[in-house]
Amino acid sequence: MKRIFLWWGERALLLLVSCIVLFPILWMFLTAFKRPRDAYSISLHFKPTLSNFVTVFSDPWNLGEMVVNSVTVAATTVLIAVPCAALAAYSFSRFRVRGRKFLFFLILSTQFIPAVVIILPFFLMFRTLGLLDTRIALIVVNLAIVTPFVIWMLKGFIDAIPTDSEEAALIDGASRFRVIRDIVLPMAAPGVLTATIFCFILTWNEFLFALILTRRNAVTLPVGLVSFRTEQGDLWNLMSAAGVMITVPIFIMALLIQKHFTRGMTAGAVK
């Protein structure tokens, strides 16, 4: 009897937590299809419309430009950060050099620095270089944010890979780069995929640096949501439509690679 009670209690708790987490997302999706007069109503009976999505892509909102900026910044950051982090993680995992642990700790310590502390130096640097309100500035900042995290994540996966195959390949004359490309990375593929996902999500959702470093030309989607706060009040229907544009790519990505993502999260847990 006690076991049955615990089983139902666990299910009820999971259902409650799921409802709490999913309700705001569901309400955002519903509001995205509401007319302005229905956006403030809690009724679930309304006539859906696609006009909000048409409006946010038109003047003065121009969400299309923000989509291009977000995709460009996120994709470029991933393409640079993951290969560089993989090489760094391999070096930390395989090479026994003096100061290796301290250097690795130093890289990880950057993750504990609040973003508001380093935003001013970045702002002054990019202003001096004439890179304010550019995608290059956002890419550099995001690389500084996600690369240490990706190094830490990939090192755990590479540590779990036996060195026998690498040593055999090196004895046969293979270069170190070929060993990494043909042996280590394929064996660490779940970890690389997981790191890529996290890297993309962190860059896609980054708000603070994009808010401070951009004005008009390089505005990303998260920052674009702020523009829907006008003198007329918060345009919840348009804000929700823009929110859907931000969340849908992440949902689609999660559904397509869910199996690989779960395997990647657990593959490096046991050495």
Q: What CATH number has the domain bearing residue 201?
A: 1.10.3720.10
pLDDT of 158 strictly over 60? yes
Averaged pLDDT for residues 68-82: 94
Task: Tell me the sheet residues that pair with 234.
Answer: 229
What's the pLDDT band for 261 if we cut at 50, 70, 90? low
Give the alpha-carbon dihedral of 231, 236, 241, 244, to 10 degrees: 120
The answer to whether position 39 is within a domain reads: no
Output the pLDDT for position 81: 94
**Burial of 207 (C-beta count, 10 Å sphere; 0-12/13-18/19+):** middle
pLDDT of 267 strictly over 60? no
What total of structural domains would you count in the chain? 1
Output the pLDDT for position 33: 92
Report the run of H or E that residue 230 belongs to, with start and end: strand 229-230
What's the pLDDT band for 178 if we cut at 50, 70, 90? confident
The answer to whether position 88 is within a domain reads: yes
The answer to whether position 238 is within a domain reads: yes
The answer to whether position 36 is within a domain reads: no
Q: Which amino acid is at 25?
A: I
Which percentage of the chain shows pLDDT scores above 90? 28
The answer to whether position 45 is within a domain reads: no
Q: Which amino acid is at 180?
A: I
The answer to whether position 113 is within a domain reads: yes
The answer to whether position 70 is within a domain reads: yes
Give the alpha-carbon dihedral of 137, 140, 145, 151, to 10 degrees: 170
Residue 38 CB coordination number (10 Å): 17
CA distance 9 to 14: 9
CA distances from 70 to 140, 211, 226, 260 (A): 14, 13, 15, 25
The domain in which residue 130 lies consists of: 61-267
The answer to whether position 118 is within a domain reads: yes
**Average pLDDT over all residues of the chain:** 86
CA distance 190 to 155: 13
pLDDT of 271 strictly over 50? no
Crossing angle for the helix pair 115-129 and 135-159, nearest 10 degrees?
A: 130
Averaged pLDDT for residues 86-91: 91
Q: Which residue has the tokens 């009976």?
A: 45
Output the pLDDT for position 66: 92
Q: Which of 106, 72, 9 is nearest to 203 (CA)?
A: 72
CA distances from 129 to 13, 67, 122, 124, 252 (A): 53, 25, 11, 9, 38
